[in-house]
Amino acid sequence: MEKMMKKVFICFIVSAVFIFTSCAEIITVIDVKGSDLENLNAEGTKDTILIIDTRPYTEYKNGHLPNAINIPKNEINTRVNEFEDWKEKPIYVYADTDDDSFEAAKIFVEAGCKIIYNAEGIKQYSYKTIKYDCMRGVVFEQKINSPNIIIIDCRTKQAYDMGHILGAISIPSIPIAEFEKNIANLPKDKKLFLYCNVGSASARAALTLSEAGFKEIYNTIDGVREYPFNLIQEETPPDKRK
């Protein structure tokens, strides 16, 4: 993995822009081709890079990169808590065009981020996109306190029994045929919040739900092994589920 990252870094360093911060520090924003970002994202690098879609939420909702969270350019300074722990790690930003996301990149630099990559935009490269929301654990934890939602634990039933988020129901994402059968009776007028161990099983489940016609799907890219969710062991009674 380390060798792969070095190769990717060398490839990306073709074009870069230097930004001087208010503290007189020089931060380099490196331009990235859409194909390079897409290939990197497909390598299972969710734990080593953070992809941020800086477009308005309505545009993000219509289709965005897998694993990409949404922080619109005009909200960056008020949502620092969503990337506070990532300021020293690689952040990839994109928007409609790389000119648009470069403006966002400058704001991230001023917010203290040290490693910023600026990718080709949605209108410049034909990315493969998804239509369910991706969010970090800190945001997921806040949103699951809302009414009229369903929290789905996509891990095995055994893992669920050992500890799960309060209010969650168990619908394992595998085998897929069983998962498809179990989601058939889920109401489509409620928001579905999905989680698993590391965000990958729930991502597959979210894609299946999206293809089945569900619209309000929210997946945390940080699983229970990666974010300190408060887990309980008691199974949630039907009358206590959200």
Looking at residues 44-60, what average pLDDT do you find?
A: 94
CA gap 39, 31 in Å, rounded: 15
* Structure tokens belonging to residue 151: 């929290």
pTM for the structure as a whole: 0.87
Domain borders along the chain are 2-119, 133-240
The DSSP-derived string for 93-117 is EE-SSHHHHHHHHHHHHHTT---EE
Report the topology of domain 2-119. Answer: Oxidized Rhodanese; domain 1 (3.40.250)
CB 121 within 8 A of CB 98: yes
* CATH for the 133-240 domain, from 3.20.20.70, 3.40.640.10, 3.40.250.10, 3.40.109.10: 3.40.250.10
Are both 2-119 and 133-240 of the same fold? yes
User: Residue 137: what pLDDT?
Assistant: 98
* Structure tokens belonging to residue 107: 């704001």
**pLDDT above 90 coverage of the chain, percent:** 81
pLDDT tens per residue across span 154-203: 999 999 999 999 999 999 999 999 999 999 999 999 999 999 999 999 99
